């Protein structure tokens, strides 16, 4: 079965073709340059860029998959969560495409897509995948959740952030340091050469498996402001250690809760997903814990960490098998529970 996936929830326009669970193509048009100097994604600019890119991206995905559009069996698209104007482009495209080609339309929850990226296989090689149930730490620019994944389409939120997402904490810290958007990958890069122990930041006290990052952001802002007062070049002179310190703190906050979730559920299969799962500090720490706590850890390849349509097609494939289809009346959702 051939499934076309469409993703346009935030700042990547993406189309992918899967043959069952095998990726034939996964084309991503990145909008980093569009938003770089605005300190975040500008919704109106994102929508316009999606509108320009959606058709070329789909054409390229079909070309790389080496199939024609007539061979497609279904089109799966991100319904939400995301930015309304951005989602509208992908949703409208998918609806028109399904109508024009007379094929089923499947709506996908973007966060479910991030989790299911772990099940995408490459042609000619079979990689190990998690078995159910497993825990998934889903960390992106908009979300931070610990999920109990009971089956492909049956996931329960055990804990989530009460304010900022982990990716947002990275991006805001970067912004305070004067780095462009998205700052997460830049902090990661600088942190690789810094001392994580030189500057310490407070850990929030949040009950249960929930997270909070807004206090950390404020503490970081005051820390920078106070140091810059006495040493104007403080950031420039110490940027590697500052980045390493804030990254270490965010990673420790995430890992502490993940350990607690594993202890409470008795589940030792741990996966990570979402943009922040590309973070080298987080990946390294997880591998350390795998050894220490006898976990089996699943870390996605970099191409599946950030937003992409292959993960949407993957979720679409399982919804197809379950006969869960949408109709032409469907509209995007900026917030979308599981
Ligand atoms: O999943 P994603 O592409 O989009 C959303 O659904 O939000 O995640 C984007 C987020 C941004 O906040 C970005 O700074 C962060 O993921 N990110 C990283 C890294 N790569 C992307 N954060 C830390 N380290 C990275 N290497
Ligand atoms: Zn995402």
Reported as a single tens digit per residue, the pLDDT across 247-290 is: 999 999 999 999 999 999 999 999 999 999 999 999 999 999 99
Give the closest ligand to the alpha carbon of residue 11: 1
pLDDT for the residue 47: 97
* ∠ Cα 276 16 274 (to 5°): 10
Which residues fall within 8 angstroms of residue 14, CB to CB, at 6 or more apart? 5, 6, 7, 8, 26, 27, 28, 29, 57, 307, 308, 309, 310, 312
pLDDT for the residue 38: 86
Reported as a single tens digit per residue, the pLDDT across 50-102 is: 999 999 999 999 999 999 999 999 999 999 999 999 999 999 999 999 999 99
CA-nearest of 2, 5, 29, 211 to 116 is 5
Q: Environment class of residue 106 by beta-carbon count within 10 Å: exposed (0-12), middle (13-18) or buried (19+)?
A: buried
Reported as a single tens digit per residue, the pLDDT across 111-156 is: 999 999 999 999 998 999 999 999 999 999 999 999 999 999 999 9
> What DSSP element (H or E) covers 187?
helix 184-191
- Report the pocket of ligand 1 as residue ranges, CB < 6 Å: 10, 140-142, 167, 170-171, 182-185, 188, 274-276, 278-279, 306-307
Q: Residue 165 CA to chain centroid, in angstroms?
A: 11
Reported as a single tens digit per residue, the pLDDT across 213-256 is: 999 999 999 999 999 999 999 999 999 999 999 999 999 999 99
Question: Using CA positions, which residue lies closest to atom 3 of ligand 1?
Answer: 306
Of the options 3.30.420.40, 3.40.50.720, 3.40.50.970, 2.40.50.140, the CATH number for the domain spanning 134-303: 3.30.420.40
User: To 10 degrees, what angle do helices 184-191 and 234-265 make?
Assistant: 100
Q: Is residue 32 over pLDDT 90?
A: no
pLDDT for the residue 337: 87
| CATH node for 2-126+306-321 | 3.30.420.40
Strands (E), 70-115: 74-80, 105-109
Ligand 1 atom, smallest distance to 82 CA:
6
When pLDDT is averaged across residues 23-42 and rounded to a whole number, the result is 91
CA-nearest of 310, 320, 318 to 5 is 310
pLDDT level of residue 39 (50, 70, 90 thresholds): confident
Helix, coil or strand: residue 135 = strand
* Distance (Å, whole) CA 290 – CA 298: 10
Question: Using CA positions, which residue lies closest to atom 24 of ligand 1?
Answer: 279
Residue 316 contacts residue 152 (beta carbons within 8 Å):
no
pLDDT for the residue 95: 98
Residue intervals of the chain classified under CATH 3.30.420.40 are 2-126+306-321, 134-303
pLDDT for the residue 266: 98
Using CA atoms, how far residue 39 sits from 104, 179, 233, 301, 305, in Å, is 39, 9, 21, 27, 21
CA-nearest of 60, 24, 81, 101 to 314 is 24
Mutate to test the pocket of ligand 1, among 31, 116, 275 (most ligand atoms within 8 A of CB): 275
Question: Using CA positions, which residue lies closest to atom 7 of ligand 1?
Answer: 141
Helix, coil or strand: residue 148 = strand
> What DSSP element (H or E) covers 147?
strand 144-151
């Amino acid at each position: 079965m051939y499934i076309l996936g469409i993703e346009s929830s935030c700042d990547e326009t993406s189309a992918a073709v899967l043959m069952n669970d095998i990726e034939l193509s996964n084309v991503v048009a990145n909008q980093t340059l569009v938003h770089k100097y605005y300190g975040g994604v500008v919704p109106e600019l994102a929508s316009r860029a999606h509108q320009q890119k959606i058709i070329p991206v789909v054409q390229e995905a079909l070309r790389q998959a080496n199939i024609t559009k007539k061979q497609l069996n279904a089109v799966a698209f991100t319904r939400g969560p995301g930015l309304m104007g951005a989602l509208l482009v992908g949703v409208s495209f998918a609806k028109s495409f399904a109508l024009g080609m007379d094929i089923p339309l499947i709506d996908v929850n973007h966060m479910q897509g991030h989790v299911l990226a772990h099940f995408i296989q490459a042609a000619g090689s079979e990689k190990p995948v998690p078995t159910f149930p497993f825990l998934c730490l889903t960390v992106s620019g908009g979300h931070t959740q610990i999920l109990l994944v009971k089956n492909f389409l049956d996931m329960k939120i055990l804990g989530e952030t009460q304010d900022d997402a982990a990716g947002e904490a990275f991006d805001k810290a970067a912004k305070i340091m004067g780095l462009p958007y998205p700052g997460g990958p830049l902090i990661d890069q600088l942190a690789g050469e810094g001392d994580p122990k030189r500057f310490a930041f407070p850990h929030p006290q949040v009950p249960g498996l929930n997270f909070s990052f807004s206090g950390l952001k404020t503490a970081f802002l005051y820390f920078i402001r106070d140091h810059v007062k006495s040493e104007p070049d403080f950031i420039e002179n110490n940027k590697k250690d500052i980045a390493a310190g804030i990254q270490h703190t965010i990673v420790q906050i995430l890992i502490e809760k993940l350990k607690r979730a594993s202890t409470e559920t008795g589940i030792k299969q741990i996966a990570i997903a979402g943009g922040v799962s590309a973070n080298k500090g987080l990946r390294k720490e997880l591998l350390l814990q795998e050894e220490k706590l006898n976990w089996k850890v699943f870390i996605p390849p970099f191409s599946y960490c950030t937003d992409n349509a292959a993960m949407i097609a993957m979720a679409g494939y399982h919804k197809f098998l379950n006969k869960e289809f949408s109709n032409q009346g469907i509209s995007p959702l900026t917030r979308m529970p599981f």
